[in-house]
Amino acid sequence: MDMLRYTLMRLGIFAGCLVVVWGLVYSGIAPRGLGDSNFMWVVLLALVISAPISFVVLRKERDRASAQVVARVDRAKANLDRNRGQEDIADDAARGAQGQPS
Mean pLDDT confidence for 72-83:
87
Confidence of residue 57 (pLDDT cuts 50, 70, 90): very high
Higher pLDDT, 6 or 35: 6
Measure the CA–CA gap between 88 and 69, rounded to whole angstroms. Answer: 29
The structural domains of the chain, with segments of one domain joined by +, span: 2-97
Confidence of residue 50 (pLDDT cuts 50, 70, 90): very high
Q: Report the chain's mean pLDDT, rounded to a whole number.
A: 86
Q: What is 78-101 written as a DSSP string?
A: HHHHHHHHHHHHHHHHHHHHHT--
Q: Express each pLDDT in 35-45 by its tens digit.
A: 777 889 999 99
Whether pTM > 0.75 for this model: the answer is no
Mean pLDDT confidence for 60-77:
90
